[in-house]
Amino acid sequence: MRILVSLIVICSFCIPAWSAISGNIEKNGYGDTNQVIDAQNGKPIGSANVSLPSKGFRTQTDAHGRFELGAKVDAPTIMSVDKEGYKPFSLTVDGTTFSKPIVIGIEKTNPHDIVIDKDMYHIGDDNYSENSANAGEFKVKAIGPYYTKIFPIKQGSPNEQLYLIIGSVIGIDTKMARDMGQSKVTTAYASPPEIYFNGNKIAELQLNGDNQQIKLPANLVKYNQNNQVTIKCGVNLFQMAYIDYDDVEFMNLYIESKPG
C-alpha cells in the first residue's frame, strides 16, 4: 500500500480528456501510450529520461512526450522522470499504476531551486525482513546507516522560504507505517529516519511516500556558503543485542524556493 504524505496539486491548465500526474495525483490518460508533459502549459516534453532504477530500466520520451514501460512492475518501486530545466520528479508505482496509460506533468525549475542529488540511495545494513516495506524492490547496496551531502546555497530574495523535497522514499518500517499497512513486519517496528540540516535535526519520516516536503528553518540556512543535509535511517526498536538498522531507499533530493 502506498501512502502519499504530501500532495501538491497543479491546476494551471485544464484539458477535459485527461489530467496529469502532478504532485502525486494520478488520473488516466487517453490513447494507448504514457506521456510526459509540461505541468504549466500542457505541452509534451520530448527527450525526458524515464527510469525504474531498481529494475535497471531506462528510456526516453519521443517528440510527443510518449514512452512505453518495458519492465514488469509487480511491487511498489520508484519511477523517476528527469529533464534538464525541470524539477526532478519521482513516483512510487506498482502493478496497477500502468493498468491504463498515464500522463505525468513536471514543473520547470525556478532560479533559486537547487538539485542536491538525482540518484537512488539505500541506507541501512542490507539486513532486513522480506516483510519489510517494499523490501522486494531493494536492489541498491546499502552505503551505511546515513547519507550526507554538502552543497552551496546562494542568497535569494529576502522573503523566500526554502523546502527540502524528498522525491520518493520506500522501506520505512515505523509503527505508523505498519499500522497503515505499508510494512508487513508484525513482531517489530523501527524508529523513523531522521533529517538533519547543518547538524540540526529538523524532521522525522514516519511513512513511505512521494514528494515529502520539509521546511528549512531560516536561521539554519547559510547563504553564499556550503550547507549540509544528512538522512539517518532508523533502528529496530526490538533488537537489543546489536544495532539493527532499518533499510530505506530514496531518490531525488532538491531544495525548492517559495515565497515566504
Provide the pLDDT for residue 25.
33
Question: Mean pLDDT in the chain?
Answer: 84
Residue 26 in grid coordinates: 494520478
Per-residue confidence band for 15, with pLDDT thresholds at 50, 70 and 90: very low
Residue range(s) defining the domain that contains residue 148: 114-259
Residue 69 in grid coordinates: 514501460
Higher pLDDT, 41 or 2: 41
Residue 198 in grid coordinates: 547543518
**In terms of Cα–Cα distance, which of 201, 212, 135, 204 is closest to 174?**
204
Per-residue confidence band for 66, with pLDDT thresholds at 50, 70 and 90: very high
**Is 106 part of any domain?**
no
Distance between CA atoms of 136 and 132, rounded to whole angstroms? 8
**Is 50 part of any domain?**
no
Per-residue confidence band for 40, with pLDDT thresholds at 50, 70 and 90: very high
**Is 34 part of any domain?**
no
**Is 95 part of any domain?**
no
Instruction: Say whether pLDDT at 27 is over 60.
Output: no
pLDDT digit string, tens, across residues 196-205: 999 999 999 9
Question: Percentage of residues in the chain with pLDDT exceeding 70?
Answer: 83
Instruction: Say whether pLDDT at 63 is over 90.
Output: yes
Q: What is the mean pLDDT of residues 92-119?
A: 90
**Is 20 part of any domain?**
no
**Is 227 part of any domain?**
yes
pTM of the predicted model as reported, rounded to 2 decimal places: 0.83
Provide the pLDDT for residue 13.
25
**Based on the structure, what is the number of domains in the chain?**
1
Instruction: Say whether pLDDT at 29 is over 60.
Output: no
Q: What is the mean pLDDT of residues 123-131?
A: 79
pLDDT digit string, tens, across residues 154-183: 987 778 899 999 999 999 999 999 999 988
Provide the pLDDT for residue 87.
94
Distance between CA atoms of 104 and 69, rounded to whole angstroms? 13
pLDDT digit string, tens, across residues 141-156: 899 999 999 999 998 7
Give start and end residues of each alpha helix (H) in the chain.
Answer: 175-179
Distance between CA atoms of 66 and 224, rounded to whole angstroms? 40
pLDDT digit string, tens, across residues 69-91: 877 887 788 999 999 999 999 99
**In terms of Cα–Cα distance, which of 89, 91, 76, 134 is closest to 115?**
89
Q: For the domain that residue 198 is a member of, what is the CATH number?
A: 2.60.120
Provide the pLDDT for residue 17.
32
Phi, psi angles (nearest 5°) of residue 158: -60, -30
Instruction: Say whether pLDDT at 109 is over 60.
Output: yes
**Is 5 part of any domain?**
no
Instruction: Say whether pLDDT at 260 is over 50.
Output: yes
**Is 131 part of any domain?**
yes
pLDDT digit string, tens, across residues 218-238: 999 999 999 999 999 999 999
Residue 203 to residues 187, 206, 217, 256, Cα–Cα distance (Å) = 26, 10, 11, 17
